Amino acid sequence: MADGISGPDLVAGDKLSGVSTYEYDVVIVGAGPAGMCAGMYAGRAMLKAVVLERGFPGGELLNTELIEDYPGFESVLGHELAEKFHTHAAKFGAEFRTSVTVEKVKRLDDGTFETVADNGDRYLSPTVIVTAGGTPVKLGIPGELEYAGKGVSYCAICDGAFFRGHTIAVVGGGDAATEEAYFLTRYAEKVYLVHRRDSLRSSKILQQRLFANPKIEVIWDSVVEAAVGDAAGLLNTLKLHNLKTDERRDLKATGLFVFVGFRPNTGIIADHVNHDDMGYIVTDPHMQTSIRGLFAAGDLRSQLTRQVTTAVGDATTAAIAAEKYLKLIKDGQPEVAIENAGGYSA
Ligand SMILES: Cc1cc2nc3c(=O)[nH]c(=O)nc-3n(C[C@H](O)[C@H](O)[C@H](O)COP(=O)(O)OP(=O)(O)OC[C@H]3O[C@@H](n4cnc5c(N)ncnc54)[C@H](O)[C@@H]3O)c2cc1C
């Protein structure tokens, strides 16, 4: 185990390949709300913790305009909240390494985890907290990939401003689709929300706001079957299919925003880990996965809802449970249940 928070323990470096091996108490994969919160708690517990992030700290907060449901903040910009989380975690000693993509997390025979980054660097630790979130699900229709970035988008806040005065469509029926359709009306002249059912799954308050917006029209019971472009290679038409009436028609639209769910980023876990039917990781109440010492928190965990609040709640539990597990290892009792590991000291 690494000792204290006195800087990274570089235990081996290969000068020829430039590949290094580091030791930490806790390796946290992903710097979204869950990873940053886990980093803050691990830092407060005086653990040697590193947060490995493939991009910049923030996760989905960086793709969200306004957060209006994080307690204490009636309305806060996504990137502002991300910055606050990051500063707070770093203040308590969590080390952040950005532009580091984790390729594999594997439990070695002696129980140590080996986390391998895309540059070949190895991070050895007795515990890992995976908070890698999810990736937007694609529609899988003709033209979707061809017109990605040329009309097709998965991020309203990133691309919305390109559609000032345009007619666009949003696909989906959950919170993300409802919220982002509303958000996009600040740019687009007209926003169609295309949903395959006859009612939305999103929260009632978001629906109320959506239905009250004169720029939005919902196209019920329908799917987009294909995205078609013009001679310049830009999207201009969506092929719609009404599943109830079987009617097919063209919708003129220069933008297609897809919000039909997320796939959990669990592919980095090399060993089999228990998951639900949708691929989300199943944990016990301590956020421990079916692999001893491997914890999961946030959007990639199997649970009722996925929000910033739930991500930080999970991460709090995961970091404290990881600390207790480290204590058990130190006491030579790695098999004892985490709840019997003694008091929380941070
Ligand atoms: C459009 C939209 C609007 C939303 N609006 C709200 C809202 O208003 N209120 C609310 O509470 N929630 C909202 N959410 C949901 C909320 O953003 C998520 O629940 C929350 O961000 C989940 O946090 P997380 O840390 O689990 O995952 P994420 O935020 O997804 O963070 C995961 C991080 O892991 C990194 N990562 C992934 N794989 C690797 C790898 N292999 N190596 C290194 N790093 C990796 C990613 O780059 C990312 O930074 C919204 C989500 C979306 C998409």
Residues 24-57 have pLDDT tens digits of 999 999 999 999 999 999 999 999 999 999 999 9
Query: Ligand 1: does its nearest atom lie under 6 Å from the Cβ of 54?
Result: yes
* Residue from 63, 76, 308 whose mutation best tests the ligand 1 pocket (most atoms within 8 A of CB): 308
Write the CATH number of the domain with boundaries 152-258. Answer: 3.50.50.60
The pLDDT assigned to 342 comes to 66
Provide the pLDDT confidence category of residue 14 given band limits of 50, 70 and 90: low
- CA neighbor of 238 nearest in space, from 145, 168, 295: 168
Higher pLDDT, 336 or 2: 336
Section 192-207 average pLDDT: 96
Which residues are designated catalytic? 155, 158-159
Section 118-136 average pLDDT: 96
The pLDDT assigned to 13 comes to 67
C-alpha dihedral, 87 to 264 to 104 to 23, nearest 10°: 30
Task: Tell how far the Cα of 78 is from the centroid of ligand 1, in angstroms.
Answer: 11
Task: Tell how far the Cα of 15 is from the centroid of ligand 1, in angstroms.
Answer: 36
The minimum-distance atom of ligand 1 relative to the CA of 180 is: 1
Section 308-314 average pLDDT: 97
Write the CATH number of the domain with boundaries 9-135+262-340. Answer: 3.50.50.60
pLDDT, the chain, mean: 92
Domain with CATH 3.50.50.60 in the chain: 9-135+262-340, 152-258
Report pTM: 0.81
Task: Tell how far the Cα of 133 is from the centroid of ligand 1, in angstroms.
Answer: 5
Provide the pLDDT confidence category of residue 245 given band limits of 50, 70 and 90: very high
Q: Apex CA 320: angle with CA 315 and CA 325, to 5°?
A: 120
The pLDDT assigned to 7 comes to 46
Query: Ligand 1: does its nearest atom lie under 6 Å from the Cβ of 25?
Result: no
The pLDDT assigned to 16 comes to 64
Provide the pLDDT confidence category of residue 202 given band limits of 50, 70 and 90: very high
**Tokens coding 98:** 């950005």
The pLDDT assigned to 69 comes to 87
Query: Ligand 1: does its nearest atom lie under 6 Å from the Cβ of 60?
Result: yes
pLDDT at 328 over 80: yes
The pLDDT assigned to 21 comes to 96
The pLDDT assigned to 6 comes to 39
The pLDDT assigned to 272 comes to 93
pLDDT at 346 over 50: no
